[in-house]
Amino acid sequence: MSLHIVLGFGPAGAATARLLAEQGHSVRVVTKSGRSPEPGIEHLALDATDRARLTEAAQGAAAIHSCAAPPYHRWADEWPPLAASLCAAAESTGAVLVMLGNLYGYGPVAGPMTEELPLAATGTKGRIRAAAWEQARTLHEQGRIKAVEVRASDFFGPGVTDGGHLAGRVMPPLLRGKPVSTLGDPDAPHSWTYLPDVARALVEVAGEERAWGRAWHVPTEPALSVREMVDRLAAQAGTGPVAVRGLPSPVLAVASLFSPLLRELKEIRYQFDRPFVVDSSAYEAAFAVRATPLDEQVKQTVDWWRERVATAG
């Protein structure tokens, strides 16, 4: 088995590191603060923008899985040096650079999103994410590194607590049968990518040379609106039906005065005001990972949140 480096230990990084460890790989997780070791996983504290230290930590690795991301309001300052450091470490060590991306780089589009769409975002965050991948792709085409990007829609599932779409702002009230609020149009079709499927795709493409050099969409079940997803989650929890309310624009405008996160979300508000649908058929035609069936996604998510809420009291 091989050594794998995982940058970040948020939901995606933790799920990826633990899946790799379960498969028998040696795993070294890199975060700024570090953590206590756990079975099969070494935690290393270092700033990943320090390319010399990151390169040293990645010596002998088969792959570097980039699952870290700065806070939204620091993307413009912190993404470019992080992306440059990742590419430098991949070039120095020969490890495959596996980047976890999102769909921001496409910008607003009409119809389902495929990997063939141009990266035409006009917003800051979309341009930043597109530039990070384009840098890696160019180096790959020059033969200097091996790189692949895996793009996911909004995460949900066990371990996903941040954000309000189907996580921290939705699940606790839903489990109590209380109304939930959401950004945008609660009836607009939206793609939801299940977190364990993200980890499985990241691990799979690391070992598939034919995947390298391009981007792939994580296998994702057909789009459902926020209201439809809340109905399914509430039915599984036995607390439905639960009312779903879209947050009015004036309320968001006032709230954004006090919340840096809400201010940053203005740029990607279009993702919830209109259909936001991902097409993952290219991945499914080429590789083994498939989206977990929706009923299982919903069951595992409700079970995990029930345990979390019970533990928190």
Say what the pTM is.
0.94
* Residue that has been written with the tokens 């371990």 in this structure: 159
Residue 16 amino acid letter: T
pLDDT per residue as tens digits for the range 199-254? 999 999 999 999 999 999 999 999 999 999 999 999 999 998 999 988 766 666 65
Cis omega (within 30 of 0) for bond into 241: yes
pLDDT per residue as tens digits for the range 101-148? 999 999 999 999 999 999 999 899 999 999 999 999 999 999 999 999
Q: Could you give the CA distance from residue 135 to residue 139 in angstroms, rounded to a whole number?
A: 6
Q: What are the extents of the domains in the chain?
A: 3-154+193-217, 157-191+222-276+293-312
Q: What is the DSSP letter of 59?
A: T
Q: Could you give the CA distance from residue 278 to residue 69 in angstroms, rounded to a whole number?
A: 21
Structure tokens at 23: 């498969």
For domain 157-191+222-276+293-312, give the CATH superfamily: UDP-galactose 4-epimerase, domain 1 (3.90.25.10)
pLDDT band at 5 (very low <50, low <70, confident <90, very high): very high
pLDDT per residue as tens digits for the range 21-72? 999 999 999 999 999 989 999 999 999 999 999 999 999 999 999 999 998 8
Q: Could you give the CA distance from residue 61 to residue 63 in angstroms, rounded to a whole number?
A: 5
pLDDT per residue as tens digits for the range 218-231? 999 999 999 999 99
Structure tokens at 250: 């004036």
Domain 3-154+193-217 adopts which CATH fold?
Answer: Rossmann fold (3.40.50)
Residue 144 amino acid letter: R
